[in-house]
Amino acid sequence: MTPVELSRTVLRAVRRAVDGGELSVTVPGRAVVAPPGPGGCGDYATNIALQLARPAGRSADKVAEILRAHLLDTPGVTDVVVTGPGFLNISLGDGAPTALVAEILRRGHRYGYAVDGPTDGETVQLYALHEVRAVIVMDAVSRLLRSQGTLVRNTCEARPEPEWTDLLGAHVDAFGSPEANAPLYAHGAPETPTPLHLTVRPVPAPADPTPLGRDAARWALLHPAAHDRPRITDEHLVQREGNPLFRVRYTHARTRALSRNAADLGFTAEPAALAEPAASGGPGDPGDVRHSLIPLLADHPRVLAQAAADRAPDRLARHLVTVADAALTFLPGVLPRGDEKPSAAHRARLALAEAAGTVLAGGLSLLGIDAPDHI
């Protein structure tokens, strides 16, 4: 069961409780599932009970117990534990990591995108002042919102500088006041509702970032939180571990190199349960993967949704660094060593490595940054 499928499972549990008269609430359109936080357990956790407690007129732990009974009747769910004020901690069968990796490889760069389109037809019109960081952040926010099924239009205070669009890749639909441009949305369709205006106002860049080139400049502007002052220096171009952008791109390139090397050895990736390597505890030991890389990959859809909702591309950038750091400790154990022959375990580990590379490439693309296959 993948995170998306589990989210639907949680919603079905709510619907069954409502249909059975156990809860009197409106079934929400989405249930957030994520790896458990401190004090949690299992594979995933959801705060749906806390979300429904007030409208249901019951305590969150009572709502959680009602939903727990329905979730335990679901095939693939092995256990459900209520922790804290009402968090549902869900344990899945051994096939959960395999299904996750398979879904990532199937969906490719669109893993984590909203499955359905816009639910209410609302259009968001982003508005940025005539300043390079504001325009680049607006561009990244619009990419994130579109990944979650939101219709977006980008408007700048004045005509953007050519370097911002041509070199840094910012997309701007119109310039001028957002009110003046609202009727132009959706090719002038008169029935289109007036969009919601959101102003993107990060701390301005202290210097011109264009000498860094597109990828490093965008990372320099997007990696810090909007309220932090970005550093526009050559440190973003240095190819060493101290540069977060380099680590993310290097890790992706390593996963691509592993796929090429595996092909030379005559095998390809195949999602399956991870098997322990011959020498447990060495580099790439799968024993820790379930508690490091796999939960981070499972959390990617939630990170995208939250980054879009909060208009915070920096959250995605930091998530990609965390994924890259976890993957780097796993990659050395992917391929056979010495006279070892390729086995099902190697194919499964290669599939996980490719899944990590897919998440990194997809995340970078939402930031407007290239993910090269060779570094």
| Boundary (domain end) residue, out of 162, 191, 208 | 208
Decide if 167 contacts 193 (C-beta within 8 A): no
Does residue 3 surpass a pLDDT of 50? yes
CB atoms within 10 A of CB 144: 25
The answer to whether residue 99 sits within a structural domain is no
Find all residues with CB under 8 Å of 103, minimum gap 6, and list them.
Answer: 2, 4, 111
The pLDDT score that the predictor gives to residue 42 is 84
Is residue 130 domain-shared with residue 84, that is, in the same domain? no
The answer to whether residue 375 sits within a structural domain is no
Percent share of the chain, pLDDT over 90: 70
Is residue 79 domain-shared with residue 138, that is, in the same domain? no
CATH number at residue 274: 1.10.730.10
Listed residue (336, 320, 166) closest to 261, CA to CA? 336
The answer to whether residue 199 sits within a structural domain is yes
For 278-313, write each residue's pLDDT tens digit: 344 455 555 555 558 998 998 899 899 999 999 999
The answer to whether residue 219 sits within a structural domain is no
Task: Give me the helix-helix angle, 48-56 and 60-72, nearest 10°.
Answer: 120
Percent share of the chain, pLDDT over 70: 88
Is residue 167 domain-shared with residue 264, that is, in the same domain? no
Evaluate if pTM is beyond 0.75. yes
Find all residues with CB under 8 Å of 100, minimum gap 6, and list them.
Answer: 2, 3, 294, 297, 298, 355
Is residue 180 domain-shared with residue 272, that is, in the same domain? no
The answer to whether residue 349 sits within a structural domain is yes
Average pLDDT of every residue of the chain? 88
Which residue, chain included where needed, has tokens 């086995």? 343
The pLDDT score that the predictor gives to residue 32 is 87
Is residue 128 domain-shared with residue 74, that is, in the same domain? no
CATH number at residue 58: 3.30.1360.70
Amino acid, single-letter form, for residue 278: A
For residue 45, the 8-state DSSP code is E
Decide if 284 contacts 334 (C-beta within 8 A): yes
The pLDDT score that the predictor gives to residue 255 is 98
CA angle 191, 193, 198 (to 5 degrees): 150
pLDDT, average across residues 237-249? 95
Which residue, chain included where needed, has tokens 């499964």? 348
Length of the chain: 375
Is residue 28 domain-shared with residue 128, that is, in the same domain? no
For residue 152, the 8-state DSSP code is E
Question: Which residues constitute the domain of residue 261?
Answer: 244-366
Decide if 360 contacts 323 (C-beta within 8 A): yes
Most confident of 4-13, 73-82, 85-94, 261-270: 261-270
The answer to whether residue 105 sits within a structural domain is no
Q: How many distinct structural domains can be found in the chain?
A: 3
Is residue 267 domain-shared with residue 355, that is, in the same domain? yes
33-49 burial, b at 16+ Cβ within 10 Å, e below that, comes to bbbbeeebebbbbbbbb
Is residue 260 domain-shared with residue 362, that is, in the same domain? yes
The answer to whether residue 233 sits within a structural domain is no
For 29-86, write each residue's pLDDT tens digit: 888 888 888 888 888 899 999 999 999 999 999 999 999 999 998 888 989 999 989 9
The pLDDT score that the predictor gives to residue 114 is 85
pLDDT, average across residues 323-337? 95
What are the Cα distances from residue 178, in Å, to 118, 140, 174, 200, 243?
21, 18, 9, 12, 37
| Boundary (domain end) residue, out of 208, 236, 269 | 208
For 154-181, write each residue's pLDDT tens digit: 999 999 999 999 999 999 999 887 666 6
The pLDDT score that the predictor gives to residue 375 is 87
The pLDDT score that the predictor gives to residue 322 is 97
